[in-house]
Amino acid sequence: MVCAMRYQPRRRILLMRHGQTSWNEAGLVMGQTDLPMSESGIQQAKAMITELDSLEVRTLFSSALFRCQQTAEFVSRALDLPITFVPGLEERCWGIYEGRHHTERDTTVDPPEGETLSQFQDRIAVALDLISASDRPLVVTHSGVIRYALEKAESDKSRRRIPHAKPILVPWGLRTVTAS
């Protein structure tokens, strides 16, 4: 008897990028530089509130970086949910590239004075594994975190630009299913 193994998504996580910052608007690499949202980012965060009612969010998680905290506070007030800050949800540390224009960053190598790609991916996986056990979670985080989750889910969305303050549903965690 031959058994075939396949993997199926176990849980779904709603991921959302923080509202825009002045560095986002200028095309600068933010990484873990801790900046607030710009006025347009605040408007984005306010506008996304209307989309949340239909998503039935029951738990709220966030990166501890200020731009995510601000965005999560809008969600928290609108849905009357507490915010849980989870280590590991922060953007990748881009080292010497932080504050420089995106065109100056070499994404083919690990950044000097920054975080390796495997370090970044490992901490995201731990954080999202922890969160995936929660009831209907919404996670306010960063584009790099969302892009990694989409890549792991083998989604074609991973190649697209990650919008600010727009929820994206991502399957997370795999379970093995044996079929005979």
CATH of the domain at 161: 3.40.50.1240
Cα separation, 98 vs 91, whole angstroms? 11
Containing 24, the helix (H) or strand (E) segment is helix 22-26
Q: Around Cβ 119, how many Cβ atoms within 10 Å?
A: 13
List the beta bridge partners of residue 11.
Answer: 172
157 pLDDT tier (thresholds 50, 70, 90) = low
Q: How many domains does the chain have?
A: 1
Whether the predicted pLDDT of 158 surpasses 80? no
Q: Tell me: pLDDT of 40 over 70.
A: yes
Whole-model pTM: value is 0.89
Residue 172 pLDDT level (bands cut at 50, 70, 90): confident
CA atoms of 34 and 56, how far apart (whole Å): 30
Q: Is the pLDDT of residue 163 over 80?
A: yes
Interatomic CA distance for residues 33 and 95, integer angstroms: 10
Asked if the model's pLDDT at residue 180 lies above 80, the reply is no
Burial of 137 (0-12, 13-18, 19+ CB in 10 A): buried
**How far apart (Å, rounded) are the C-alpha atoms in residues 89 and 72?**
13
Residue 105 pLDDT > 90: yes
Closest listed residue to residue 90, CA positions, set 107, 112, 115: 115
Q: Is the pLDDT of residue 78 over 90?
A: yes
What residue numbers bound the domain in which 43 lies? Answer: 4-179
pLDDT score of 176: 45
